[in-house]
Amino acid sequence: MKRYVVACGQYYFVGKNTTSKELILKKGFMQGSVFDDLDKAKKIAESLNGKVRQLTLTNPEE
Protein backbone atom coordinates (compact mmCIF):
# COMPACT_ATOMS: atom_id res chain seq x y z
CA MET A 1 0.00 0.00 0.00
CA LYS A 2 1.33 3.40 -0.93
CA ARG A 3 1.18 6.25 1.56
CA TYR A 4 1.80 9.95 1.05
CA VAL A 5 2.64 13.10 3.00
CA VAL A 6 2.33 16.75 1.95
CA ALA A 7 5.61 18.67 2.17
CA CYS A 8 5.90 22.46 2.19
CA GLY A 9 9.61 23.14 2.20
CA GLN A 10 10.94 21.73 5.47
CA TYR A 11 7.45 21.56 7.00
CA TYR A 12 4.79 18.87 6.66
CA PHE A 13 1.01 19.23 6.70
CA VAL A 14 -0.51 17.90 9.92
CA GLY A 15 -4.10 19.10 9.78
CA LYS A 16 -6.45 22.00 10.20
CA ASN A 17 -7.51 23.57 13.49
CA THR A 18 -11.29 23.16 13.54
CA THR A 19 -11.84 26.22 15.74
CA SER A 20 -9.59 28.83 14.11
CA LYS A 21 -9.41 27.20 10.63
CA GLU A 22 -5.63 27.65 10.69
CA LEU A 23 -3.45 25.04 9.03
CA ILE A 24 -1.02 23.13 11.19
CA LEU A 25 2.45 22.51 9.75
CA LYS A 26 5.33 20.91 11.63
CA LYS A 27 8.96 20.08 10.92
CA GLY A 28 9.84 16.47 10.22
CA PHE A 29 7.83 13.97 8.20
CA MET A 30 7.07 11.89 11.31
CA GLN A 31 4.81 14.76 12.45
CA GLY A 32 2.91 14.89 9.15
CA SER A 33 -0.46 13.39 8.36
CA VAL A 34 -0.23 10.25 6.24
CA PHE A 35 -2.67 9.82 3.37
CA ASP A 36 -3.68 6.64 1.55
CA ASP A 37 -5.53 8.66 -1.11
CA LEU A 38 -3.16 10.31 -3.60
CA ASP A 39 -5.89 12.61 -4.96
CA LYS A 40 -6.68 14.00 -1.51
CA ALA A 41 -2.98 14.59 -0.85
CA LYS A 42 -2.61 16.34 -4.23
CA LYS A 43 -5.52 18.70 -3.49
CA ILE A 44 -3.99 19.73 -0.16
CA ALA A 45 -0.54 20.14 -1.74
CA GLU A 46 -1.95 22.36 -4.50
CA SER A 47 -3.70 24.59 -1.99
CA LEU A 48 -0.45 25.02 -0.03
CA ASN A 49 1.93 25.23 -3.00
CA GLY A 50 3.53 22.11 -1.58
CA LYS A 51 4.55 18.73 -2.93
CA VAL A 52 3.27 15.21 -2.38
CA ARG A 53 5.95 12.80 -1.25
CA GLN A 54 5.51 9.05 -1.13
CA LEU A 55 6.58 7.23 2.01
CA THR A 56 8.33 3.90 1.64
CA LEU A 57 7.01 1.60 4.30
CA THR A 58 8.33 -1.91 4.59
CA ASN A 59 7.16 -4.80 6.68
CA PRO A 60 9.84 -7.48 6.98
CA GLU A 61 7.31 -10.04 8.25
CA GLU A 62 5.32 -10.09 5.00
In this predicted structure, what is the pLDDT of residue 20? 87
Instruction: For residue 29, give Cα distances in angstroms to 12, 14, 19, 26, 32.
Output: 6, 9, 24, 8, 5
pTM over 0.75: no
What does the DSSP assignment read for 21-37?
--EEEEESGGGSPPBS-
| Three-state DSSP state, 54 | strand
How far apart (Å, rounded) are the C-alpha atoms in residues 29 and 35? 12
In this predicted structure, what is the pLDDT of residue 43? 93
Inform me whether the pLDDT recorded for 62 exceeds 60.
no
How far apart (Å, rounded) are the C-alpha atoms in residues 39 and 44? 9
